[in-house]
Amino acid sequence: MSKSGLVIRKNERHEVSLPARARVAYSHAELIKFANGVANPDGWIDVHLIDFSSNGIGLITTNFFPRGSLIEVEVPDIGEESESVMINCQMRVMRVQMTDRRPAYLIGGAYTEIDDELESQIENLMLRLQGAGGDRA
């Protein structure tokens, strides 16, 4: 008997469009290096959060992160003056797919560890997304 190939998600995913930033986690910093000028002095690069769930997130970026690598992601709170962060997490890159419309990569990742702070951040963003009246934030 063959498998259908159907992927069933355990958690509800929300399509979003939010600016974010990512960098290689400290534990993988010696394994993955970007060319000079790609990242800021702290190693951060601009990415875009495109989907969000309580298990992981999806990003789009013009920089390649290998499957299995650990990266840190920060999503700033919405607002011009805001300096707070909605999500601050470490994730393992589970899938990487090159887009067909522009030279970019779709990155899917799973949180490596959900502590109390991250759980609260996830819960708050999920409530905001559900309160927005749809799947777009």
Tell whether 2 is covered by a domain: no
For 37, the token pair is: 């000028």
Mean confidence (pLDDT) of the chain:
85
Does 9 map to a domain?
Answer: no
Give tens-digit pLDDT for 119-136.
999 999 888 887 754 444
Q: What is the CATH number of the domain that holds 33?
A: 2.40.10.220
Tens digits of per-residue pLDDT, 18-73? 999 999 999 998 888 888 888 888 889 999 999 999 899 999 999 999 999 999 99
CB of 70 within 8 A of CB of 24? Answer: yes
Residue 83 lies inside a defined structural domain of this protein: yes
As a whole number of angstroms, the distance between CA 137 and CA 93 comes to: 23
Residue 5 lies inside a defined structural domain of this protein: no
In a domain, 61, yes or no: yes
- Residue whose pair of structure tokens reads 């799973």 in the numeric block: 110
> Is 70 within the bounds of a domain?
yes
Per the structure, the complete domain to which residue 82 belongs is given by 14-130
Domain count, the chain: 1
Residue 3 inside a domain? The answer is no
Tell me the pLDDT tens digit for each residue of 80-94.
666 788 999 999 999
* Count helices and strands in the chain by DSSP H and E runs: 1, 6
pLDDT of 98: 92
